[in-house]
Structure 1
Amino acid sequence: MDPKKIEQYGDELYTAFLGQTTVAPLIEREPDITIDDAYKIQQRMVDRRVAAGEKIVGKKIGVTSKAVQDFLGVFQPDFGQLTSGMIYQEGDTIDLGKLIQPKAEAELAFVLKEDLKGPGITAMDVIRATDYVVPCFEIVDSRIKDWNIKIQDTIADNASCGVYVLGKTKGDPRALDITMAGMVLEKNGELFSTGVGAAVQGSPANAVAWLANTLGALGIPFKAGEVILSGSQSALVSVVDGDELACTVGGLGSCHVKFAGRSAA
């Protein structure tokens, strides 16, 4: 894709983020857009956020489940970049008025104590380099109208990053069975869905290793202190004013989040 179009679409998505508006799917306007094009558009969008004062604090892995991969017609995950403007702490109330069409998903976050640079990173390397894991919520959001996305759309839109909330309970991944640990997601005190770590590429650590190797091939390392969101273990759940969610990971603990306000869409 022409570099001017890369900038055009990246700027368009950044403007949509600022104005809490949506844009038409890129794949409809650029039928020949490639995944490589989409990542370049993502980088332009993220660069605009960094230029405005945010910092890169980690990465997220998306499209880890077979159902979502089948829906998007791809057979590997994607990734986005986490910025300092996306962070909420457990106990905070998320203002839906700052989002467009949010949906929540529960997952496991890895916080690194050492740098990791692929290729050649294994799941065990990930475990060794991890300071701790915590249950978390990612509130995904799309700047693409009506969530009408293909893989190129969501990648360009920074993997549909919205905001995220880390739980307060820290666990040692060397002492936890993160592959077989069950996850329970409750909405307003009622069971919404259940999951297990193995649903994420066989193990959340496998998903993190995949991303370390994918980025390593591009010369991009994971850095100590970064947060890596390993991919959803739950069904997506829509949220509105007054909703409360809780996810509990067996042997680890829980993460709770509340929502207030009305989203743009």
Structure 2
Amino acid sequence: MPKGIQQAAERLLEAARTRTPCAPVRDVLPDGSAETAYAVQNILTARSLDDGRRIVGRKVGLTSPAVQRQLGVDRPDFGVLFADMEIADATVADSGRLLQPKVEAEIAFVLAADLDAVDLDAAAVRSATAHVVAALEIVDSRIAGWDITFADTVADNASSALYVLGTEPTDLAGLDLTTVRMELVDGTGATMSEGTGAACLGDPVEAVLWLARTCRDLGAPLRAGEIVLSGALGPMAPAAADGVYTARLSDLGTVSVGFSGTALRPGDRVAPERPLGVSN
């Protein structure tokens, strides 16, 4: 293994362990290619599995033109979802697990069948989907100041951290996800981000299809029971340590998260009696 790949992995692991953002890893990677960056990600994934973490799905990243512009990249990527990354809807996430988080509103697919066929298409993705649900992804970068290129974010497990699934599963049959409207608001009701399903590679189904084909070709296909975060429907919003955020997705309902700076403990419900962002 080229020395730079291991060096990049150790740099990211140290940043995660110490909760101290590190310098970009692109300077130590041999060629900055996608293959090299995913080799770093694979080391991090293997280390997580050795530590007892369990893979429950994948995430597609960099699907929204707005997010691509924010980060200066021009193509999607993917990362791994682990069971301990999930936060229950409308509860408080532990800010101590995070370095410099941002929030994205997405559509999550829960699979009922494997996606490993040679002739995968959008119809196959729809058929394999048990249901879709509104979701939030709390992205984070182990790299200081989000000073990242495509290689940096891929190596850093696609800048993933936590995710939240809504509680209103919806049948995908007959549903046009391109027309889903998204609004992300903070605890005061102020709009932080807006977008539509069409912002996600033209259609979130196409984003999942891209992922399914990519993972199949890499020999690690998507499997029944896995969760797929299909990508942001609008720009990322900075997450304040005491913030509360709610995404409203037409046809799919709402999904919310707070952070432990709210003076509540991780896992507490943020607003058990009313939707987040709505005052008495």
Output one character per residue of 1:119-145: Cα deviation in whole Å (capped at 9) or x when no partner: 532122111100111101100000111
Closer, same or farther: CA 93–71 of 1 in aligned 2, 3 Å: closer
Contact 1:14–1:49, Cα closer than 8 Å, also in 2: no
**Paired residues, what number?**
261
Q: Which amino acid aligns with 2:245?
A: L
CA distance in structure 1 between the aligned counterparts of 2:133 and 2:231, rounded to whole angstroms: 13
Point out where structure 2 has 5 or more consecutive residues left out of the alignment. Answer: 263-280
1:69 deviates by 3.5
Closer, same or farther: CA 235–72 of 1 in aligned 2, 3 Å: closer
Contact 1:62–1:77, Cα closer than 8 Å, also in 2: yes
- Tell me which residue corresponds to 1:83: 82
Q: Which amino acid aligns with 1:208?
A: V
User: Tell me, what secondary structure is at the counterpart of 1:27?
Assistant: coil
CA distance in structure 1 between the aligned counterparts of 2:217 and 2:36, rounded to whole angstroms: 17
Q: Which amino acid aligns with 1:115?
A: D
Q: How does 1:96-115 map to 2 (within 5 A)?
A: 96-115=95-114
Decide which moves more: 142-151 or 191-200: 191-200
- The runs of at least 4 consecutive aligned structure 1 residues that moved more than 6 Å come to none
User: Tell me, what secondary structure is at the counterpart of 1:179?
Assistant: helix
User: Tell me, what secondary structure is at the counterpart of 2:107?
Assistant: strand
User: Tell me, what secondary structure is at the counterpart of 1:221?
Assistant: coil
User: Tell me, what secondary structure is at the counterpart of 1:214?
Assistant: helix
CA distance in structure 2 between the aligned counterparts of 1:193 and 1:91, rounded to whole angstroms: 18
CA distance in structure 1 between the aligned counterparts of 2:54 and 2:230, rounded to whole angstroms: 20
Q: Which amino acid aligns with 2:93?
A: I
Closer, same or farther: CA 25–118 of 1 in aligned 2, 3 Å: farther
- Tell me which residue corresponds to 1:234: 234
Q: TM-score, normalised by structure 2?
A: 0.88
- Tell me which residue corresponds to 1:26: 25
Q: How does 1:1-265 map to 2 (within 5 A)?
A: 2-30=1-29, 32-70=31-69, 74-188=73-187, 189-261=189-261
Decide which moves more: 70-79 or 107-116: 70-79
**What is the root-mean-square deviation in Å for CA atoms of aligned residues?**
1.7
Contact 2:7–2:28, Cα closer than 8 Å, also in 1: no
CA distance in structure 2 between the aligned counterparts of 1:27 and 1:103, rounded to whole angstroms: 22
1:50 deviates by 1.1
Q: Which amino acid aligns with 1:36?
A: E
Q: Which amino acid aligns with 2:14?
A: T
CA distance in structure 1 between the aligned counterparts of 2:70 and 2:193, rounded to whole angstroms: 20
Contact 1:200–1:233, Cα closer than 8 Å, also in 2: yes
CA distance in structure 2 between the aligned counterparts of 1:4 and 1:119, rounded to whole angstroms: 35
Closer, same or farther: CA 106–70 of 1 in aligned 2, 3 Å: closer
User: Tell me, what secondary structure is at the counterpart of 1:261?
Assistant: helix
User: Tell me, what secondary structure is at the counterpart of 2:211?
Assistant: helix
Q: Percent identity?
A: 42
Closer, same or farther: CA 32–55 of 1 in aligned 2, 3 Å: same
